[in-house]
A and B are shown apart, each in its own frame.
Chain A
């Protein structure tokens, strides 16, 4: 075929350039927000001191202790979890061809909660430490996390198995997720009915996602999984674009649709499982974030995946910052805030409809 008369269209390059600027701007906002988030709290730390401490200069031992042990890991956990939930959400929306897709569509959060309930109530790993109410204490957070993770993987495996039998169609995946969600919810309710007050409190408390729970090694592990999955999603950006154009079109472009769908699901599930088991259930970020980014830079996965990643980080870090100071000295778990804010934001986006 001959296409010699084509030129690189300037107007298109300008349009792409604008999207890249949005992404760069988002990164900038995220970094500024990180410094700001560390500076506010029960003890206010001057912004310059925060900046100097996290760039490795020793300002004061007190600041060192607060920043390195408490605020920085919490802020980074918020960013990593936000990024992870948002990219998992955007991928699920694409591979399930469903705007309501989210990291929790497959029932993973319910599976994690059930795992935690089994750990606390059946295995007696005790009751969780709350920074608000001292009544709730947990003896062995590691077993609780492990059990939650195990059940998240179990849910994934079941959906994988069903998809293998029924050819990985989006409808089957969504419906299997609905079925598993209600099954695990029923299981959790059953266990809760036979638990004592302290156990019940611990289980309920566990489900409130809180980014303050992660320590450095957990944060490192979470970051590794989220980074690996994000790279995988970016590598597959053209495949997701093709699937967005319809399964037939994707196949005619040489995409192995079933395989992309299955692998994408496993990667999203893994990211979600890690975040849920370490931090608890943090709703709405994975659902709302991709839609916010779609409104700004459109549905092109080349920009949507990195955009959602950045926006997820911003959204969860901002929410966590607000949650820490809104009713100071009490600290709200971030999940309470995201659940509160998520619904109005989502409805607002639906009503606005058009791009910003």
Chain B
């Protein structure tokens, strides 16, 4: 296990957001954190690399308590891709190079440039090297953010809704890229997600949050109409379509009213 969470409780001022969260993540694993809006998915993700500090609980990174590590030590093991990527008058290469920050001493080394270059090749973004990120599309920006997290040489990638704001083709493109990177580099990824179909297709394990607690946790077998109805308050059917498992809501709420 490279990341283990124990008894995590998180409060925003006096409001309890997360309660008694515990799970662990192994190598080459993609974990989807699922649940309705406001349930604390993003909060949980941010607790994993100490962007937020939980009130109680421990997060072990490779057996070490992350609250005893310094910022650079965490950043050399955990890469984070935020939901919204900030832009500026910066080339994609410079934006990705920033990801080397936890490794950089006083000056950049040749190795730093080589790693950034390699990631650009691996994500097929060669042509974007000197493009300004403030002129990029949502999909390209998302790739830059993922590339930035990858050049940190992390063992774990944390992604906050990596497909929000993307069109269908880009959603599939980004998730395929993430899945490929996880397999190729033998790392782990934790993603918060809204789209259950994408989650089913790309994730190996699923954590359903309800009212700040883990409601269900496990492999594809935990995704059942009952679980989803309990968590999201919406009845669904699950079926196969062209060999792909799909989750479809049966009665939109408006139709129920009628």
Contact surface of A with B, Cβ cutoff 8 Å: 1-9, 11-12, 15, 238, 241-242, 244-246, 248-249, 251-256, 294, 298-300, 355
Contacts and interface: CB of A to CB of B under 8 A. Distances in A.
Contact of B118 (A6, A244, A245, A255): A6
Interface in B52-95: 70-76, 78-80, 82, 84-86, 88-91, 93-95
Contact of B72 (A5, A9, A254): A254
Nearest to A298: B89
B71 A248 contact: no
A251 B130 contact: no
Given A238-B104, A251-B50, A298-B94, 7 more contacts: A2-B185, A3-B115, A6-B114, A6-B121, A15-B91, A248-B46, A252-B79
B152 interface: yes
B102 A254 contact: yes
B113 A8 contact: yes
Given A12-B130, A245-B86, A252 B75 contact: yes
Contacts of B89: 294, 298-299, 355
Contacts, number: 117
Contacts of B70: 254
B113 A9 contact: yes
Contacts of A7: 114, 117
Interface of B: 46, 49-51, 70-76, 78-80, 82, 84-86, 88-91, 93-95, 98-99, 101-102, 104, 110, 113-119, 121-122, 129-130, 132, 145, 148-150, 152-154, 158, 185, 187
A254 B118 CA distance: 23
Contacts of A256: 71
B71 to A, nearest CB: 3
A300 B93 CA distance: 11
A303 to B, nearest CB: 10
Contacts of B185: 1-2
Contacts of A254: 70-76, 101-102
B154 to A, nearest CB: 8
Given A12-B129, A246-B84, A241 B98 contact: yes
Which of A3, A11, A355: most chain B CB closer than 10 A?
A3
A12 B75 contact: no
A3 B80 contact: no
Contacts of A2: 185
A160 B119 CA distance: 41
B102 A298 contact: no
A248 B130 contact: no
A300 to B, nearest CB: 5
20 contacts: A2-B185, A3-B119, A3-B153, A6-B114, A6-B117, A12-B113, A12-B129, A15-B93, A238-B101, A242-B98, A246-B85, A248-B80, A249-B86, A253-B152, A254-B70, A298-B88, A298-B90, A298-B94, A299-B89, A355-B89
Contacts of B75: 252-254
A113 to B, nearest CB: 34
Given A1-B153, A245-B86, A299-B88, A252 B51 contact: yes
Nearest to B78: A252
Nearest to A97: B86
A249 B82 contact: yes
A298 B187 CA distance: 34
B114 A252 contact: no
A1 B186 CA distance: 8
Contacts of A12: 91, 93, 113, 129-130
Nearest to A252: B80
Contacts of A246: 82, 84-86
